Structure 1
């Protein structure tokens, strides 16, 4: 019975891994919320890592103008405004993340060249592009990760695109398998929560659409 039980668990694990690695599942993980046009779009900062091993493009619509979203983006980071995702998971990795529910004036002056720490020991994220109310692009100091946050406007609403371009130098096939079966689905869970967290906060702090219409 015990052997049969372990065999069943092993078979279920292999089946789950195979499903997670299937092209359809990977497409969903890596393009959640994004249109085909957004997935194919060349964003400012793509050239910072020209040939990534992995690229994800995820997006969300926010009922607020880009000007109301931007303050929440520029204050992100450990020891700053946080990541608006599952803080308890981030802090299991010693990332010192505490998501703010307010706009923090002391963190509103992000500039090219600023380096935000990811963890006590490890590469930081250097600001490579900071185009107000449009684009922030970070590149890890070891050159293996580029993260782009890009804003557009659609019918008085902001469209936030989050793109990750990742290089996995010298990865063995077991490591790539774990990445596809575990890390890619896991990244969707965290990033989806982040996008929703930004949306909720920006909509709380944004002027109403009616007030925007009166100004135009």
Structure 2
């Protein structure tokens, strides 16, 4: 490939990156969330101050928080409840996820300090406030994944998922850009999976206390 083609390819790649940053990145990072939710300080933010990146995604669930929290409390690889997303993709990465449609009583009372393995990542439970908030932080401190449940007092819940991450190396920052659209695909499926399970659970009238 001659120098002209290399320069042209570089220019196209740079233009695509700029276009993504300006037009697509924020809708991808903040799918489903209102401007107020994106700007809000939420439980778990204090666990990773001054992050290099933040995503805030949200969904409305037609069920009270007590029907939503059980699915968060038990998330994780087998024997936990899975991630309610595309298991086959998760398992291609060796994560051993098998999403269940039932509440697993033995995982309903997570404690601060509990570890949940996500492949090479060891996530430590940092917040476990029943029916309100659940957050984990990676062993290296570079990733915090937090869920907030907002009781809207009309029988519905806003479930907000926030990822905060630190990218200490240039290669990490470059590698994150193509991962962001993929993360939306997985998290979109996860949020809908939690919604459907919570609404079904609410329909049965049973929940964990």
CA distance in 2, matches of 1:158, 1:69: 8
Q: Deviations over 1:83-139 (max 9, x none)?
A: 0000000000000000001111121121111010111xx231001111110001111
CA RMSD, 1 decimal: 2.3
SS for the counterpart of 1:42 is coil
> Which of 151, 154, 171 is matched with 1:153 structurally?
151
CA distance in 1, matches of 2:66, 2:22: 37
Q: Which position in structure 2 is the counterpart of 1:52?
A: 51
CA distance in 2, matches of 1:60, 1:47: 23
* Number of corresponding residues: 198
Q: Which position in structure 1 is the counterpart of 2:65?
A: 66
SS for the counterpart of 2:197 is helix
SS for the counterpart of 2:145 is strand
Q: Which position in structure 2 is the counterpart of 1:109?
A: 109
Q: Which position in structure 2 is the counterpart of 1:202?
A: 198
CA distance in 1, matches of 2:45, 2:174: 25
Q: How does 1:127-142 map to 2 (within 5 A)?
A: 127-142=125-140
SS for the counterpart of 1:21 is helix
SS for the counterpart of 2:118 is coil
8 Å CA contact 1:19–1:25 kept in 2: the answer is no
Q: Which position in structure 2 is the counterpart of 1:124?
A: 122
Is 1:177 aligned with 2:174?
yes
> Which of 160, 165, 187 is matched with 2:183 structurally?
187
Give TM-score scaled by structure 2 length.
0.87
Give TM-score scaled by structure 1 length.
0.85
What stretches of structure 2 of length at least 5 have no aligned partner?
none
CA distance in 1, matches of 2:102, 2:197: 8
